[in-house]
Amino acid sequence: MYRLLIVCLVSLGSFNWLDAQEIHWTQYEMAPLLLNPAKTGDFYGTFRVGGIYRNQFSSITPDAFNTPGIYVDAPVIKGFRDNDWVGAGGALFVDRAGALGLQTGGFFLSGSYHFALGREANTYIVAGFQTGAYAKRIRDIDAYNSEANILGEQDPTQGMLSDQAENAQEYAAGLMFKSKLSETFNLEAGFAIKHLNRANLSPLGRGGRLPWRTTAHGTLDIRVNDIVTLSPGFMYETFDPVDKLVTQVRSKVLVNEERNIYITGGLGLRWEDSAHLLFGLQFDDLHVSLAYDMTTSELANAASYFGAFEIAASYIVKIYKKPEVDPVIFCPRF
């Protein structure tokens, strides 16, 4: 009975989350451009491509949350100084939720400038900016039902619904600080604001302005030895009236030095919501990872403690131009 009640809530009331529920991933580091535009081009290589998929609450109802996302970025040109560089990229996501098919999507272009500090350039300050199209839509409006409909009464909410997509321009900005503190410690901390322009965007026909979505994140890489690296980290977001805190401890263990193969994993917690189990493999510049969310909120019994499943992958392509070497002719000695 409780499970049926939750299904009804997902089916009937999920449209009320349009202004309060936004996409999120447990493996937020595997969607870097959607975490913070300052992470655009933040790697060593020619270009990077990646994707992530999340399925949430499928144990309650098949019409649950399905969220795929993809991105590509690159460090494109050198900056104004020797150790500076400019990054550029793009990201796309689509989120579909509930029996009504509440769909949120976006396509964004990002740019970043990496400003080196110090003679050895072990510290960087990065500024990023992002713009693109943001949209919300109810795809299956005929699936709407309510207590009033069942009783044969008029439902004023039904008249507010529209299956026409609502589109808006989106702007986001972010800052990031990265520093190699020592041979043992590397620090990263960032802050981003999405919906800077607070666009009017609601398929309910009432023209709600999106609140700012602020994100703070940080990671400390601790090189325990030549084999093991530990990375405690956090991500805190606010999106009025919702806020959430994620804390994780990830690990990276070298298993084959010759082929540069690592096993990655970790544990995490989205406070008052779910516990996380992380696992992955890294083959040189290819990283494939999985995440499992165990629900710890009041939905735990209805979801049989299964909250979400994620799969993600990223690949850094390195293309280096072969140097042109003038032939050397050796004169024989007699």
Q: Is the dihedral of CA 296, 301, 302, 306 positive or negative?
A: positive
Predicted pLDDT of residue 140: 57
Tell which residue, 125, 169, 126, has the closest CA to residue 33.
Answer: 126
Predicted pLDDT of residue 206: 53
Does residue 262 carry a pLDDT above 90? yes
Instruction: For residue 252, tell me if it sits in a domain.
Output: yes
- Per-residue confidence band for 323, with pLDDT thresholds at 50, 70 and 90: low
pLDDT, greater one: 74 or 325 = 74
- What's the average model confidence in pLDDT over 277-305? 84
- What's the average model confidence in pLDDT over 69-84? 95
Percent of the chain's residues with pLDDT above 70: 73
Tokens of 25: 């991933």
- CA-based end-to-end distance of the chain: 100
Does residue 9 carry a pLDDT above 50? no
In CATH, what number is assigned to the domain containing residue 146?
A: 2.40.160.40
Buried b (16+ CB within 10 A) or exposed e, 28-64: bbbbbbbbbbbbbbbbeeebbebbbebbbbbbbbebb
DSSP state, 12? H
- Give CA separation, 285 vs 93, 192, 294, in Å: 23, 27, 30
Q: Is the dihedral of CA 252, 254, 260, 261 positive or negative?
A: negative
Predicted pLDDT of residue 60: 56
Predicted pLDDT of residue 116: 96
- Per-residue confidence band for 322, with pLDDT thresholds at 50, 70 and 90: low
DSSP state, 150? H
Q: How many domains does the chain have?
A: 1
Instruction: For residue 15, tell me if it sits in a domain.
Output: yes
Instruction: For residue 334, tell me if it sits in a domain.
Output: no
Q: For residues 97 and 296, what is the distance between their CA atoms, to the nearest angstrom? A: 20
- Alpha helices (H) along the chain: 2-12, 32-35, 147-150, 156-160
Instruction: For residue 327, tell me if it sits in a domain.
Output: no
User: Tens of pLDDT along 15-73?
Assistant: 444 444 578 899 999 999 999 999 999 999 999 999 999 998 655 556 568 899 999 99
| 21 close to 159: Cβ distance less than 8 angstroms | no
Instruction: For residue 103, tell me if it sits in a domain.
Output: yes
Instruction: For residue 109, tell me if it sits in a domain.
Output: yes
Domain range for 123: 2-317
For residue 296, the tally of other CB atoms under 10 A from its CB is 16
Instruction: For residue 35, tell me if it sits in a domain.
Output: yes
Instruction: For residue 326, tell me if it sits in a domain.
Output: no
Predicted pLDDT of residue 123: 96
User: Tens of pLDDT along 111-161?
Assistant: 999 999 988 889 999 999 999 998 887 755 555 555 445 445 555 555 555
